Structure 1
Amino acid sequence: MLSYDELTAPERELWDAFPEGRRVDLRTGSQEDDPVDAGGQWGHERRVRAVVIAALLLGANTTQPGAVACLRLAGARITGRLNLAGAQIAHALWLDGCWLEESVDLLGASTRTVVISDSRVPGIEADAAGIEGVLDLRRSVVESLDSSPFNHVGTALSLTDARVSGGILLSGAEISAPGGWAMAAGGLVMEGGVFCNRGFVARGEVRLLGAQLPGGLFMKGARLEGPSERGVALALDNAVASTIDLSGGFTASGTVRLRGARIWDSLSFAGAVLNGPAEGHGPSLVAPLVQTVDLDFTLAQAPSGTVDLRGAQVSYLHDSERSWPEVVELDGFVYGSIKTDEAGERREAVGQRDSVARRVAWIRRSPGYSPQPYEQLASWYRKAGHDDDARRVLLAKQRHRRRTLHPAARAWGHLLDLTVGYGYRPWLAGVWLLALTLLGTLSFSAGTPKPVQKGEGAPFQSFVYTLDLLIPIGGLGQRSAWYWSDGSLQWLAYLLISFGWVLTTAVIAGVTRTVQKS
């Protein structure tokens, strides 16, 4: 038990101020001495023991009637470890511009608002803590040190399974655990938002696996530097959030992973830079099975690594020419509409010049062949009323699929493509029929055929005779009534018969495929 007589002068000042919630400011006003970087040189006149702070928060000094007790301390060097593990804390903690020698332990604690702003802290452990209020670490430097008792994986800020009724404010903070976890917050349950906006820097992996973020996650302009050995800068697997904002210059040197995340409103990467792992061999974005209403993927530059959107579901997709890397995983990706960013304006991608060619090229970035991306794209064009574009997409699908077939099937595919465009261009059959009819009519009109039986049958007509050769079903009475003594014209007749069968078979096969897919 602490005795008042044992307290130092700054500790007594803090002790006396606590019942009334008055602020104790130990700063000198000197621009050379007050910066937190110089905290290691602060003398006894600015030192406060962590045990004194803990004692006050746990009720060592009675509260003043009519006042709200609160610990407010600025410009102090806090010695020793602030150990509040498992404590029931009824008072808010405000530390401003302080230099803490050792870590803060709030493991399993139940506390009010905790503010440690503009300070230097060697690690914060708050696993399973309950915070009724906000956790404010704005502009602070939180570091992972080997001496930390909970630092078995190199963690700077640990909030695993914690509950926070307000928000977590990290804007301008620097959370550093190179090679480890800058922030470990798997299972975090929030009622407010998590704000890591401009100036926020994380060295090490930021882990929010399965976190519940109804107030959203905001990392506008943040910079994340993932550990090189694992390569993950931000992990949000199975997280549930209203909004995830990774825009406005957000930069990730490492993989951003959102496997199975569910976002009620929007997921934004507008103006973001996704560099991928330092080695350049890993993915920039891994987001299979992610679900969101609005996905804004208008990046500042193309990602350095692959983008994985397999099985993702998006109502509205916004992209640009800078959005996609060389490899994009799109199998199972479902979207309701696409808008593209051109010259700072967002326009419907459907109906634009070269729209189909650009979208097919986008699909071709996916390794291997998968029919679903083509079917999805065609469905989007069809719903927008662009049936011709949808058919072009499905034709591109058949051409891509053809590459995966054995030689005989590829040859048949080339024939279907050439004659009827796999059934998506049936007018090609008419072109072929017209060209062959013209060829036969002109060729046969220059010769004189011989009747099979003299004096019988209709008079020879080159046009009708050519049609009779090309149409394999039925007959017009010309083919069976005349033959050629001229060998070249007879071979032409055989050739037209063959073309007629091939053309008819191709038409039937193509139309059947089209009917089955419709």
Structure 2
Amino acid sequence: MELTNGEFADFEGGKIPASRIRELMVRADDLDPRGLRVRNARIEGQLDLCDVSAKRPLALQDCTTDAPVLLDRARLSALDLTGLVAPAVSGPWLRLEHYLYLGRARLDGGSDDYALDLAEATVGGHVSLRGAHFRSETEYAVHAPRLRTGSEVYLTDVVAVGTVRLEGAYIGGNLYCGGSFFGGSDIALLAVDMQVDGSVFLSRGFRASAETYTAVRMRGSRIGGQLVLRDGVASGPVALDVKQSRVGMEVFFPMGFADGEVDLDGLTYTGLPRDAGLDDWLDLLAHKTPRYATQPYAQLAAAHQAAGHERDVRRIRIAQQRDLQRRGQLTRWGRLWHRVTGATVGYGYRPATALLWLLGTLALSIALITGLAGPVGAVRCSIVEQVGYALNAVAPLAKLDGQQRCQVATTTGVGQVVVVTTWILQLLAWAFATLFVAGFTGLVRKNP
């Protein structure tokens, strides 16, 4: 069968020696510029193209082989292994000028190999793994640390049993992830320190699960576009870890995405988060994060501040202080002070609350004098003068002449109670007035 004319050679299930494919690729200059193209062949022996340098494409569509395909350090124009059935594809340091196709591939690395190894590989264009199945009993089903691509990476409709590792990868376009990622006792999708020039889509039926660790770990990643988690689900003790990651545009984060804790400390993004309301975000930060952290609240507040949502900014800041009080590392006295400022001035963001407490203290003083001390004769003066006395005795800086006209019978038990109680109420009034002023001027606001 003619293999050098650049046309697809359909073997219809027939056999082709692996050594023949290697021989043709070694002498690639004898091939048509379209390269070597084989379809529906059974490859006999191990296809070893390690260190082969060929300026021609290689297409082995819907082929099968019983041995791993070796591509270590190979240099090719393009590689199309669509529909390949093999134990594994090993291509660390592989160099492709254009594209890599592994759509619909079935790779089972077993206990010896990664199903797909693209460690430090470089692809000038895009990588398509659409509809592929990867399974490995080793730690990684797809092992692609420091993979570099010039365009998109498609991991859609994928079934991966074992970790998909993109740690330190550089992707020149978008990253599309969809399908089922089963990490088992390990991480399902590991993309620490990944850099994506475009957007990251963990959507279109994306499912990631981990029994022991993190389902999706993208800590320290840099995303130039959007982070889209729409129509996806991640489940595990920690569902999503995007700590210290930077997203250049919006985050689309429906609350149904995370079935487990979410680590957002250090995550930055532009604009308001999409696909969830403010109440959902506040609940997420307070109850689904592993620990108290200031930055996620500050980032959310900054986004609403930029949008002109001043009322929402205050809600976020108050929720932050409540979380700090509940989970933050405060001393006993610090926690007590937090409770006081929270109840009186809303941690400095609702100073009018302290004014209401002050008015309540004054009202209690008036009720004490006119309702208790006056009727039993412990305070002798008219009702109007009793009100003036009550205000003068308690209100900060108030100087009314009612005190001079009213006489308190301190020799009686009720009179003594009145005097002591007004002292206490005066202290409270001074405290509430001070807190109101401090809250109004922002002195008690803390953003630790």
Same fold per superposition (TM over 0.5): yes
Instruction: Encode CA deviations 1:183-204: one digit per residue, 9 max, x unaligned.
Output: 1111111112111212x21121
Q: Is the 2:167–2:193 contact (alpha carbons within 8 Å) kept by the matching residues of 1?
A: yes
- Between structure 1 and structure 2, the one with the greater Rg is 1
How many aligned residue pairs are there?
429
Give 1:402 deviation, angstroms. 4.6
Give 1:19 deviation, angstroms. 3.0
Please give the TM-score of this superposition, normalised by the length of structure 1: 0.74
- For the residues of structure 2 that align with 1:219 and 1:60, how far apart are their CA atoms? 35
Mapping 1:256-295, distance limit 5 Å: 256-276=216-236, 282-292=237-247, 293-295=249-251
Return the letter of the residue paired with 1:191. G
Q: 1:391 to 1:259 in 2, by over 3 A?
A: closer
Q: Is the 1:85–1:109 contact (alpha carbons within 8 Å) kept by the matching residues of 2?
A: yes
- Quick one: percent identity of the two aligned structures? 26
Determine helix, strand or coil for the equivalent of 2:51.
coil
Q: 1:184 to 1:399 in 2, by over 3 A?
A: closer
- For the residues of structure 2 that align with 1:129 and 1:437, how far apart are their CA atoms? 84
- For the residues of structure 1 that align with 2:159 and 2:105, how far apart are their CA atoms? 10
- For the residues of structure 2 that align with 1:192 and 1:176, how far apart are their CA atoms? 25
Determine helix, strand or coil for the equivalent of 2:67.
coil
- Give the aligned partner of residue 26 of structure 1: 11
Give 1:101 deviation, angstroms. 2.5
Q: Is the 1:420–1:507 contact (alpha carbons within 8 Å) kept by the matching residues of 2?
A: no
Match of 1:311 among 253, 266, 287: 266
Q: Is the 2:8–2:37 contact (alpha carbons within 8 Å) kept by the matching residues of 1?
A: yes
Mapping 1:99-498, distance limit 5 Å: 99-145=64-110, 151=112, 154-198=113-157, 200-220=158-178, 222-228=179-185, 231-241=186-196, 242-254=198-210, 255-276=215-236, 282-292=237-247, 293-298=249-254, 301=256, 303-316=258-271, 337-341=272-276, 349=277, 355=279, 359-365=281-287, 366-367=289-290, 369-380=292-303, 382-402=305-325, 414-423=339-348, 424=350, 425-440=353-368, 442-443=370-371, 445-446=374-375, 461-473=385-397, 475-479=399-403, 482-485=406-409, 486-498=412-424
Please give the TM-score of this superposition, normalised by the length of structure 2: 0.85
Q: 1:25 to 1:298 in 2, by over 3 A?
A: same
Q: Which has the higher contact order (CA 8 A, sep 6+)?
A: 2
Q: Is the 2:361–2:425 contact (alpha carbons within 8 Å) kept by the matching residues of 1?
A: no
- For the residues of structure 2 that align with 1:78 and 1:206, how far apart are their CA atoms? 27
Give 1:246 deviation, angstroms. 1.2
Return the letter of the residue paired with 2:18. A
Q: 1:440 to 1:406 in 2, by over 3 A?
A: same
Determine helix, strand or coil for the equivalent of 1:363.
helix
Q: 1:170 to 1:422 in 2, by over 3 A?
A: closer
- Give the aligned partner of residue 5 of structure 1: none
Give 1:360 deviation, angstroms. 4.1
Determine helix, strand or coil for the equivalent of 1:206.
strand
Cα RMSD over matched residues? 3.1
Determine helix, strand or coil for the equivalent of 2:130.
coil
Give 1:477 deviation, angstroms. 4.1
- Give the aligned partner of residue 57 of structure 1: 25
Q: 1:181 to 1:247 in 2, by over 3 A?
A: same
Determine helix, strand or coil for the equivalent of 2:224.
strand
Extract unaligned runs of 5+ from structure 1: 1-12, 28-33, 35-45, 277-281, 317-336, 342-348, 453-457
Q: Is the 1:108–1:127 contact (alpha carbons within 8 Å) kept by the matching residues of 2?
A: yes
Q: 1:460 to 1:223 in 2, by over 3 A?
A: closer
Q: Is the 1:58–1:90 contact (alpha carbons within 8 Å) kept by the matching residues of 2?
A: no
Q: 1:367 to 1:256 in 2, by over 3 A?
A: closer
Q: Is the 1:420–1:429 contact (alpha carbons within 8 Å) kept by the matching residues of 2?
A: no
Return the letter of the residue paired with 1:240. Q
